[in-house]
Amino acid sequence: MKPKKVPMRMCVGCREMKPKRELIRIVRSAEGEVKVDLTSKAPGRGAYLCANAACLEKAVKTRALERALEHKIDDAVWARLGEELAGADG
């Protein structure tokens, strides 16, 4: 029997390929709301980040998350994402 293939995704911060389960999905809904998707099943356009502040900082600095989600993200949302990622990390 073949071992099951592990789905891989790229972190938009560090640009490393990692197993999907190790990453946190950020989703932009049809209404334009950007939030953390801990279930990885929410509808909308998604992007993946490592569960650490360094990758979020890189994504902010290079605007990689905005490009991946095809949506401008304001400072309040960045702050909320930082809090949610810190909560999901621990």
Q: What is the pLDDT of residues 2-28, one digit of tens each?
A: 788 999 999 999 999 999 999 999 999
Is the distance from CB of 26 to CB of 37 less than 8 angstroms? yes
Look up residue 10 and give its amino acid: M
pLDDT at 90 over 70: no
Domain regions of the chain by residue span? 8-89
Which option is the CATH number for 8-89: 3.30.1230.10, 3.40.50.300, 3.40.1190.10, 3.40.30.10? 3.30.1230.10
Q: What is the DSSP letter of 40?
A: S
pTM of the model: 0.85
Task: Look at residue 89 in the predicted model and tell me its pLDDT.
Answer: 61
